[in-house]
Chains A and B, each alone.
Chain A
Amino acid sequence: MNRLPAPMGLLIQRDQPLDFSFDGHPYQGLQGDSIASALLANGRFLMSRSFKYHRPRGPLSMAGQDANSLVQLPQEPNVLADAHALSNGLAVTAQNVNGTLDHDRDAYMGKFSKFMPVGFYYRSFYKPKGMWKVWEPIIRKKAGLGVLDLNFQPEYYDKAYLFTDLAVIGAGPAGLQAALTAADAGAKVLLIEQQPILGGSLTYARFDIAGTRADNLRRELLSAVQQHANIQVLTEATCNAWFTDNYLPVIQGKRLYKVRAQQCLVCSGSFDQPVIFRNNDLPGVMLTSAAQRLIKLYAVKPGKRAVVLTGNDDGYLAALDLHDQGVDVAAVVDLRHAPADQALAGALAQRKIRCLTNSTVFEALHEKGLRHVKGVDVRQITAQGQVSDKGQVIDCDLLCMSAGYMPVYQLLCQAGGKLAYEDSRAEFSLSGLPQNLNVAGSVHGRHQLDNVLADASNAAHDIALALGLSPAAARTPLRSEAQVNFNWPIFPHPKGKDFVDFDEDLQVADIVNATRIGYRDVQLVKRYSTVGMGPSQGRHSALPTARLVAWATQRNISETGVTTARPPFVAEKLAHVAGRAFDPYRQTPMHARHLQAGAKMMPAGIWQRPAYYGKAEDRDACMQAEALHVRNKVGLIDVSTLGGLDVRGPDAAELLNRMYTFAFLKQPVGRSRYALMTNEHGVVIDDGVCARLADKHFYVTATTSGVDRIYQQMLKWNAQWRLDVDVANVTAAICAVNVAGPDSRKVLEQLCSDLDLSAEGFPYLGVRQGTVAGIKARLLRVGFVGELGYEIHVAARHGLALWDALMAAGKAFDIRPFGVETQRLLRLEKGHVIISQDTDGMTHPAEIDMGWAVSRNKPFFVGRRSVDILEAQPLKRKLVGFSLPKGSVQPLEGHLVLNGPDISGNVTSCEYSASLGRIIGLAYAGIDQSTPGQCIPIRVEGGIVVQAEVVQLPFFDPTNQRQEG
């Protein structure tokens, strides 16, 4: 392996080799390597093929900021090889190749690039008519990069909140310094770093000729941070967005942290920018910082003979790094006329490194098949973007380039920050940040190390004050510093392949042509050309694109701007967003008994309820058997999910009288009354019963799904009315069962010693408080299923004991449990509506024949005025009972009721009734269709229309003898 000696290789463990493969070839790397660094250490530069022309590509940034290093893992496509940690046995393959990576049959595409200009596929494949169908499968086959593993098994991802006074994003010199300053002032600081180690540019860049400053400073800052109790650190963590009030999603491994920070300081640094020239995408051409990362972080010698192309002094320092590590630096090609720091020129001269100023690489020369850079054609710059006709060729196998820097502005622009281009410095600056969001370091335009540290200290100083703390030191003044961006690092070549966007294979002409076609706005250029839409999201293309669009449209760069930055900052997996989703459910105290009895459970809101007892495939048989059992013997159903409200106080009756349509002021103690509720619009929203337990105490039931809303409504109205009443939602606290059927009284008699259960002593709609099996209970005589029935309500802690006692006592009477679907059938036979199933958002009492439940003798109830208005108008539809002979096609809920060519309503409930021997149902129908004896056409599955007969409700026991028995 090609490794440099220590102290190079901050990240690697030389004594821990790792075996892996790439495209089937075995390789060895080291613990701490990325896939890319391990491949480069083995001399493997070619890692991918470009998206469109399938050009050979090698790492560009070595920081996970470009698409050149995208590879395929067995279970994951589109993995960034320069960011993904190597592991033992990892099988890596190339993606987006036709054939092999080394011999890609689609590499010929580049030769036809002039026939495939930007947007060609928008215009080329639709003519003549019908041709799209021919082209589509071919294009779809070519589209996309990696391959999904459809057998992938989901893994555990989760989320957690983190709370902090200050979140510092980025732990480079600015982030470290700011964290220390703020922590010293007493702030609780969360330091978030994308890389596995702290230090940012201090880990790889060179800041002085001697090459000692970065290491010393990093050591000093790290030591202080590590010893500071107020600083928490997240490494290998990416802050992927900024949301209002400093809500920061931070991804670390398989966890998404939801950070809530009072203050946020972005020290995200800046991206090294490429120079645009012909073949600037060849393997072996990389950003200067990438070469430095390879040396310092991974101890990989990036080449044997290098040329450094630079627009700032940092290129000189990189050349010194390369030279120090044994790379033959053939030349430093400076786009400028001279370095800002003349001492750097002297340092190069001392090392006999040639320096060519006011020059650029006009073309990178390549080995056969574009496999690697083998030299550069260097020309004098004669004007903006123009070069001399002749130059010199310098042989090299490594070309490092740096045109300057682009602030990592994404999070800040998501927060509303505005980018403005400063012509004098040829770089973007940020302004207009919201309160409590701050910025420091090179993202703030400070590049000189002392200024970076001072800027960070000053920002932390201000943040400490905003947090109400006292910073230890005063603000530090900043010094002026040299320009780091070359103002026009773009050198179009007549033969093209001068790439602006490596992800999408976009060349200078592509951008310029887009503006000539009429897409003058950079946002439109983006959408037309797809510039910035690839995996690197414009990190290296935004600045040159802005410059090119400005030049081509004769505007300044500030006017042109860059495209909108939206979350996420880096690609995030859906698993991070969806991972460990909370999906609440509720169970009754008797849940275990239902499972033991073989219940088929179903959701009812968030409750889990037994639908029926038996196998899913026997649904109809189970339900019909349970229903007949209730009709003929006795059944037991768990109705604990029913809403329960205790309404207590001197004004309890008054509150109910105002909330419900019926009258409750004179309701006797020991009796229950049906309670129907409308909203202000007169629409029916809930029903239940109000059981008067005492003069000042009502126990009110509400629908399973509606009780929370009804409880809120009661609280809301009571807050307005200021009645002397307390409303408590006791739904979970009280569980209930309904013992129903002709033998229900006999069962209950086995367990009740303190209650007169006779028809006279405990009549229909009666309410009693006593004991059942020794358990304190509220008992209600009800008739929802149309049989003699008792609802027994007890404290939740006793629910299981009550169930067991009733099942034991009922054994002699062949008691059996029945489920919700059975209950729905039984109540349908009785013609009882279920609010929200048989009603909708428009239903008012008259439409469901509930006029009898509306008191006309009281001055007010919620919705009274609307109900009066609605009832004064002619009815347009009505809920009717309908019937079909056994064997007919059974309508389903939602099937349409027709009236000539019009739709007059829909089916709300329908089931076969074994008791009645026919199909019965409820449906809305036109008022002219609602008379018993009429037929309503119902359109069922397959478009068939069945003629159902409208019948009088209820279907079963019309004289109510059974339920009142």
Chain B
Amino acid sequence: MTSLKAHELLTPPCRLIDQTDLPRVGFRGAHSAEYLTARGFTLPDAPNRATAQADGSWVARLSQNEYLLLGSPADQGQRIADEEARWELDHRAHYLLPRQDSHACVLLSGTVIAQVMAKLCGVDLSFPAFKPGAVAQTAAARINVIVIHSGSVEAPAFHILWDRASKDYFDGALRDALEEFGGVGLADRA
């Protein structure tokens, strides 16, 4: 039995790392999969799935033909920044989406992150409903968010992306949700 009295949920704190300034980019189009595969990325085999790359970056598949690439802290996202820089509009259906500028991004990790998100989001992000590698494109605190489970069952971690113009707003909502869990503030940066 577990008690759900809020004050009894002060279990291990969450860790929140602001990755807004870590490079990331999106690609969309019928030729995007072919292009990214040729560039050495391992792609998820279905929409709303995400795959970790060997270098620590992530590729999330947001629809049949749309991919979101999250840079790795290991190389400060350089690989992804290079991909963004080398893209050109050509004859192929392969369009760049400026995700670093359109979205803010944090990495939220810890054992209670599903409960933290349950204060903001109406989608069940707890295991086993939301497994590692799963992607939820939903609303949290009344704005659109993309949640990517980039952790494991033992060590859950969510990449959370949202409208960059609402960064201050959602930072506040997230900080408020974290308060009862003793989570760290948003000072940590990748």
Residues on A facing B (Cβ under 8 Å): 158-163, 190, 225-229, 231-237, 252-253, 255, 257-258, 260, 580, 582-588, 591, 607, 640, 646, 648-649, 694, 696-697, 724, 726, 728, 730-734, 795-797
Of B39-47, B50-58, B116-124, B152-160, the segment with at least 4 beta carbons within 8 Å of chain A is: B116-124
> How distant is B66 from chain A, measured CB to nearest CB, in Å?
10
Residue B89 at the chain A interface, CB threshold 8 Å = yes
Partner of B165, one of A190, A258, A588: A588
Inter-chain CA distance A697–B89, complex, in Å, is 8
Whether A234 and B4, one on each chain, are in contact in the complex, defined by CB atoms closer than 8 angstroms, is yes
Inter-chain CA distance A193–B93, complex, in Å, is 57
- Which of B2, B170, B173 has the largest number of chain A CB atoms within 10 A? B2
Q: In the complex where A162-B118, A585-B166, A649-B93 touch, is A255 in contact with B6 (Cβ < 8 A)?
A: yes
Nearest A residue (CB) for B95:
A726
Whether A233 and B101, one on each chain, are in contact in the complex, defined by CB atoms closer than 8 angstroms, is no
Nearest A residue (CB) for B90:
A696
Contact with A along B137-179 (1 / 0, CB 8 A): 0000111000000000000000000011111111001001000
Partner of B101, one of A252, A582, A584, A733: A733
Residue B19 at the chain A interface, CB threshold 8 Å = no
4 closest Cβ contacts across the A-B interface? A733-B102, A733-B101, A163-B124, A586-B165
Residue B98 at the chain A interface, CB threshold 8 Å = yes
> How distant is B164 from chain A, measured CB to nearest CB, in Å?
5
Partner of A732, one of B3, B4, B29, B101: B101
* Inter-chain contacts of A795 with B (CB < 8 A): 98, 100-101
Inter-chain CA distance A440–B97, complex, in Å, is 55
Whether A226 and B166, one on each chain, are in contact in the complex, defined by CB atoms closer than 8 angstroms, is no
Q: In the complex where A161-B118, A258-B122, A724-B93 touch, is A231 in contact with B165 (Cβ < 8 A)?
A: no
Inter-chain CA distance A237–B6, complex, in Å, is 12
Partner of B173, one of A162, A232, A582: A582
> How distant is B19 from chain A, measured CB to nearest CB, in Å?
13
> How distant is B157 from chain A, measured CB to nearest CB, in Å?
20
Residue B86 at the chain A interface, CB threshold 8 Å = no
Whether A730 and B102, one on each chain, are in contact in the complex, defined by CB atoms closer than 8 angstroms, is yes
Residue B1 at the chain A interface, CB threshold 8 Å = yes
Partner of B95, one of A161, A225, A236, A728: A728
Contact with A along B103-130 (1 / 0, CB 8 A): 1000000000001001111101010010
Partner of B4, one of A159, A162, A591, A731: A162
30 residue pairs bridging A and B, Cβ less than 8 Å apart: A160-B119, A162-B4, A163-B118, A228-B1, A233-B3, A237-B4, A253-B5, A582-B141, A582-B142, A584-B142, A584-B143, A584-B166, A584-B169, A585-B168, A586-B169, A587-B167, A588-B165, A591-B168, A646-B95, A694-B89, A696-B89, A726-B29, A726-B95, A730-B101, A732-B103, A732-B164, A732-B165, A733-B102, A734-B98, A734-B101
Interface size on B, residues (CB 8 A): 41
Whether B1 and A732, one on each chain, are in contact in the complex, defined by CB atoms closer than 8 angstroms, is no
Q: In the complex where A582-B142, A730-B102 touch, is A648 in contact with B118 (Cβ < 8 A)?
A: no
- Which of A162, A260, A649, A796 has the largest number of chain B CB atoms within 10 A? A796
Residue B61 at the chain A interface, CB threshold 8 Å = no
Nearest B residue (CB) for A192:
B4
* Inter-chain contacts of B118 with A (CB < 8 A): 160-163
Whether B1 and A233, one on each chain, are in contact in the complex, defined by CB atoms closer than 8 angstroms, is yes
* Inter-chain contacts of B120 with A (CB < 8 A): 582
Whether B102 and A233, one on each chain, are in contact in the complex, defined by CB atoms closer than 8 angstroms, is no
Residue B21 at the chain A interface, CB threshold 8 Å = yes
Nearest B residue (CB) for A198:
B1
> How distant is B150 from chain A, measured CB to nearest CB, in Å?
21
**New contact pairs (8) apart from A161-B122, A260-B124, CB-CB < 8 Å:** A160-B115, A161-B121, A163-B118, A229-B1, A582-B120, A726-B95, A732-B101, A796-B164
* Inter-chain contacts of A728 with B (CB < 8 A): 28, 95, 97
Nearest B residue (CB) for A226:
B1
Whether B4 and A584, one on each chain, are in contact in the complex, defined by CB atoms closer than 8 angstroms, is no
Whether A253 and B6, one on each chain, are in contact in the complex, defined by CB atoms closer than 8 angstroms, is yes
Whether A648 and B101, one on each chain, are in contact in the complex, defined by CB atoms closer than 8 angstroms, is no
* Inter-chain contacts of A586 with B (CB < 8 A): 163, 165-166, 169
Q: In the complex where A584-B143, A584-B166, A584-B169 touch, is A231 in contact with B1 (Cβ < 8 A)?
A: yes
Partner of B2, one of A163, A232, A257, A648: A232
* Inter-chain contacts of B129 with A (CB < 8 A): 163
* Inter-chain contacts of A591 with B (CB < 8 A): 168
Nearest B residue (CB) for A797:
B101
Nearest B residue (CB) for A179:
B1
Whether A585 and B169, one on each chain, are in contact in the complex, defined by CB atoms closer than 8 angstroms, is yes
* Inter-chain contacts of B89 with A (CB < 8 A): 648, 694, 696-697
Contact with A along B24-51 (1 / 0, CB 8 A): 0000110000000000000000000000
Whether A797 and B100, one on each chain, are in contact in the complex, defined by CB atoms closer than 8 angstroms, is yes
Inter-chain CA distance A263–B174, complex, in Å, is 30
Whether A580 and B1, one on each chain, are in contact in the complex, defined by CB atoms closer than 8 angstroms, is no
Whether B93 and A726, one on each chain, are in contact in the complex, defined by CB atoms closer than 8 angstroms, is yes
* Inter-chain contacts of A607 with B (CB < 8 A): 165
Inter-chain CA distance A747–B86, complex, in Å, is 31
Whether B98 and A649, one on each chain, are in contact in the complex, defined by CB atoms closer than 8 angstroms, is no
Whether B169 and A225, one on each chain, are in contact in the complex, defined by CB atoms closer than 8 angstroms, is no
> How distant is A150 from chain B, measured CB to nearest CB, in Å?
27
Whether A797 and B21, one on each chain, are in contact in the complex, defined by CB atoms closer than 8 angstroms, is yes
- Which of A159, A163, A587, A588 has the largest number of chain B CB atoms within 10 A? A163
> How distant is A762 from chain B, measured CB to nearest CB, in Å?
23
Whether B93 and A227, one on each chain, are in contact in the complex, defined by CB atoms closer than 8 angstroms, is no
* Inter-chain contacts of B176 with A (CB < 8 A): 158, 580
Contact with A along B72-102 (1 / 0, CB 8 A): 0000000000000000010001010111111
Inter-chain CA distance A158–B181, complex, in Å, is 14
Whether A732 and B169, one on each chain, are in contact in the complex, defined by CB atoms closer than 8 angstroms, is no
Inter-chain CA distance A646–B165, complex, in Å, is 18
Whether A235 and B169, one on each chain, are in contact in the complex, defined by CB atoms closer than 8 angstroms, is no
Inter-chain CA distance A52–B116, complex, in Å, is 48
Nearest A residue (CB) for B114:
A163
Inter-chain CA distance A235–B7, complex, in Å, is 13
Q: In the complex where A163-B118, A163-B124, A253-B6 touch, is A733 in contact with B1 (Cβ < 8 A)?
A: no
Inter-chain CA distance A889–B102, complex, in Å, is 46
